[in-house]
Amino acid sequence: MRAIRGLWRWRHNPLRRTTDLAEAWVALAALVLILSVAPLVGVLLGGAAQEALQRSVHAQHESRHQVTATVVRELNRSPLDVDPETAAAGNLRSRVLADWTAPDGSDHHGPVPASLDDPRPGDRFAIWTDAHGRTVARPLDSTTATTHAVIAGFGAALVSAGLIETGRRLIVWRMIRRRYARWDQEWDRAGPDWGRTGAGS
């Protein structure tokens, strides 16, 4: 809005310089670009991210399977045992030795993180595995994927607006530098005689 007010203010002002009007037009052009291009970039990038993430969600749900594991015994767990690929650290309450059957029918035995407060032998809990029974991270859900896509689109719009504003500031900075250079040239020409009585007469 400042750009529009500035453009109107300099339109018929006798003190207006050409560069003042040019700066106002640059500001107006930047505002139009921020209001039109930045949202478009956000929508396009957010849509592309949504499509890619939803494909990933679909692929993960096809390749990862939830199976039931049975606790054999609890293991001592140090903070270094947390595997970010198998589960979120906040969901882990214990680490146990467990048995489970893979989707392909093979039997497995090994240490896994468990979401049990007080695991006892024979307790059952769910884990995620691939088709061959190897433990994997929980698959991404559709809602989380959409949230990530929205954040990506919003971030892209903000970056685009920032780049447009940076471009506007660079253009105005160059215009001001040129204006000051012209003023310096004018002062250099007028400088030796400026202030003398009768100078130039």
The three-state DSSP-derived secondary structure of 118-171 is CCCCCCEEEEEECCCCCECCCCCCHHHHHHHHHHHHHHHHHHHHHHHHHHHHHH
Task: Name the average pLDDT for the chain.
Answer: 82
Residue that the structure tokens 């595997």 belong to: 83
| Helix or strand (DSSP H, E) at 93 | none
Phi, psi of 134 (to 5 degrees): -75, 135
In angstroms, the CA 34 to CA 161 distance is 5
According to the model, what pLDDT value does residue 25 have? 85
| Low pLDDT (below 70) residues in the chain | 1-17, 77-93, 191-201
**Which residues lie closer than 8 Å to 100 by C-beta, 6 or more apart?**
67, 68, 69, 70, 107, 108, 112, 127, 129, 133
Which pTM does this prediction carry?
A: 0.64
- DSSP class of 12: T
Render pLDDT for 45-86 as a digit per residue (tens, 0 to 9): 999 999 999 999 999 999 999 999 999 988 875 555 455 444
Find how far residue 162's CA is from the centre of its chain.
13
In angstroms, the CA 194 to CA 190 distance is 6
SS3 70: strand
According to the model, what pLDDT value does residue 86 have? 46
Question: What is the spatial order of strands in the sheet that 124-129 belongs to?
Answer: 107-114, 94-101, 65-75, 124-129
According to the model, what pLDDT value does residue 175 have? 87
